Amino acid sequence: MPPAPATSATRLDACLTNMGASYRADPQKAVRSQAFIKYLHAYLKTEFEGHLSPWAKKRDIGMLLEPKLLDGHRGKDLDLCVCDPVNGPLLLVGVRSQMSSIGNNTLGYIDGIIGEAESLQKRFPMSTHGYVYLLPKEVIKPGAAKKRIAHERFARLFGTITGRSGVDYDRTRGVYDHFAYMVVDFNATPPTVDDALVAGAVPGIDLKVSTFVQRMVDTYKFRTPEWPIFK
């Protein structure tokens, strides 16, 4: 009997399992070589590609990994981008993970991703902008301090920089159209995303990675119905 076809949920399970194994094998190498985060890049790329329409493929519109874009005044290495060969970036996604030094550097990183949104939206105001941020539920790096991570606080901060909307959305800077905050329990088998913890901190705001791609696609389709890159 042939194996069941992979679903979004099973692909996410595999992604997180690979991320956990990569990190535990060699934390420093996994982070410095980007082997750890590349599993998440690949998962998101596959999810977006599954939504691309035949019309988009005919126009050679695809999902690019780590393209170099000109933002405000200089080049920016983005994580993922759906790009039209003539019209440029139509959908942009930033991705970050932080497995240690959480709390010491996180607020600075949040300031940085707000600035990233501002500069990219200045150049691409009508594109759909999203961000995915991953933190472990508990630090698993050997020898690292096992202090409690303020996930509720971070969720509330992320909740303030998502939801760019309205008829003048293209004038808004520093707020993403959609955000995903992944609190991953790498001690579970397979690793799981604790959506309930995040939802409890920001009721009414969807920060789930499981809905992120569809939310991004729906927003693009609503704003740009005459350029049907998604099914």
Is 221 exposed, middle or buried, given 0-12, 13-18 or 19+ CB atoms closer than 10 A? middle
- Where in the sequence is the domain holding 28, given as residue range(s)? 8-223
Q: pTM to 2 decimals? A: 0.95
**For residue 206, what are its two tokens?**
């969807």
Asked, for residue 2, whether it belongs to a domain, the answer is no
- Cα 186 to Cα 21, 93, 115, 160, 176: the distances in Å are 9, 24, 30, 27, 27
Q: With respect to residue 131, please indicate whether it lies within any of the assigned structural domains.
A: yes
SS3 (DSSP) at 75: strand
Alpha-carbon Rg for the chain, nearest whole angstrom, is: 18
With respect to residue 44, please indicate whether it lies within any of the assigned structural domains: yes
Tens digit of pLDDT for each residue in 120-179? Answer: 999 999 999 999 999 999 999 887 767 889 999 999 999 999 999 999 999 999 999 999
What gap in Å lies between CA 21 and CA 39, rounded to an integer? 11
Q: Is 1 inside any structural domain?
A: no
Element housing 96 (H / E): strand 88-97
On whether the CB atoms of residues 177 and 128 are closer than 8 A, the answer is: yes
Domain assignment of residue 230, yes or no: no
Q: Is residue 231 part of a domain?
A: no
Domains of the chain: total: 1
In terms of DSSP H, where are the helices of the chain?
8-25, 27-32, 35-49, 54-58, 106-123, 151-159, 195-201, 209-223
Tens-level pLDDT at each residue, the chain (231 residues): 556 678 999 999 999 999 999 999 999 999 999 999 999 999 999 999 999 999 999 999 999 999 998 876 778 889 999 999 999 999 999 999 999 888 778 889 999 999 999 999 999 999 999 999 999 999 998 877 678 899 999 999 999 999 999 999 999 999 999 999 999 999 999 999 999 999 999 999 999 999 999 999 999 999 999 999 999
Asked if residue 228 belongs to a domain, the reply is no
